[in-house]
Amino acid sequence: MPKFDSPIGSKSFAGQQLREFDIPEGGMQFGSPPAGNNPAGRLGGYAPQVDAALEFQERMEHESNQEVAEMERSIKEARDARRSGKVRLNEGARRRIEMLVGMSRSTREFEIDGNKYAMQTLSSKEMRVAILEASAFDGSVQSPFEVRRQFLAYSLTQVAGLDIVQFVGSNDMDAKLELIDSLDEALLNRLYDEYLIMVTEARDKYSIKSDEDVKEVMEDLKK
């Protein structure tokens, strides 16, 4: 029977056997890492998963920073546009303008010597640029020729049955002007006559023709 003796008394432990422990030299060390200070050693088989998680977190932080930078850039561009008065049209407004242009722009198709031609009226911007280019020759013999040249280059959409871009191989205005310069003078006169007919028809289409039209316009202006 195990027994415990001391100067202040003794105690017996019936039916109990004291356990024996082998303690290595230097004693026991608690809390020491199983494989030194190596993080991979501490994490064991979990190290690849942790590395992947850290890589994913860094990638997400990088993408988030890019999104923030893009947003800040967009805000700055919008603020600068408002200051300058040059506000970009949103996609919806742009589509509505394109639809209106398609509905309101007049076109004309005709044939010359069996070849099909087509043209359309100029937009406000095209008209302005054409007149500015031709104004460089104001007061000279070349002025009326340059006016015709500019108007036809902007208005022609089809030549000899082919789209103008396909015919000249480019949508560049210089290529279209070069085409006009290379055409026969008599053909240019016929094309310009067709252009003037188209412009007259378009003007008549939107002109006020009667007193009822005048009243309608006046009522619209009052709204």
**Chain segment 159-177, per-residue pLDDT in tens:** 999 999 999 999 999 999 9
Q: Which pLDDT band holds residue 49 (cuts at 50, 70, 90)?
A: low
Q: What is the pLDDT of residues 91-142, one digit of tens each?
A: 666 666 655 555 668 899 999 999 999 999 998 899 999 999 999 999 999 9
Kindly list the distances between the CA atom of residue 2 and the CA atoms of 10, 24, 59, 72, 176, in Å, as whole numbers in the listed order.
Answer: 11, 25, 66, 81, 116
Residue 92 · residue 121 · CB < 8 Å: no
| pTM (predicted TM-score) | 0.54
Mean of the per-residue pLDDT values of the chain: 77
Q: Which pLDDT band holds residue 67 (cuts at 50, 70, 90)?
A: confident
151 against 206, higher pLDDT: 151
- pLDDT of 16 above 80: no
Burial class (CB in 10 A: 0-12, 13-18, 19+), 93: exposed
Q: What pLDDT sits at residue 105?
A: 81
Q: Which pLDDT band holds residue 38 (cuts at 50, 70, 90)?
A: low
Q: What is the pLDDT of residues 174-197, one digit of tens each?
A: 999 999 999 999 999 999 999 999
Say which DSSP state 135 is in.
G
Mean pLDDT (whole number) for 205-209: 77
Q: May I ask the CATH class of domain 105-206?
A: alpha beta
Residue 34 · residue 46 · CB < 8 Å: no
91 against 19, higher pLDDT: 91
Amino acid at 37: N
Mean pLDDT (whole number) for 15-35: 52
Find, among 95, 147, 146, 152, the residue nearest to 121 by Cα. Answer: 152
Burial class (CB in 10 A: 0-12, 13-18, 19+), 58: exposed
Structure tokens at 39: 């993080």
Structure tokens at 84: 């300058």
Q: What pLDDT sits at residue 14?
A: 57
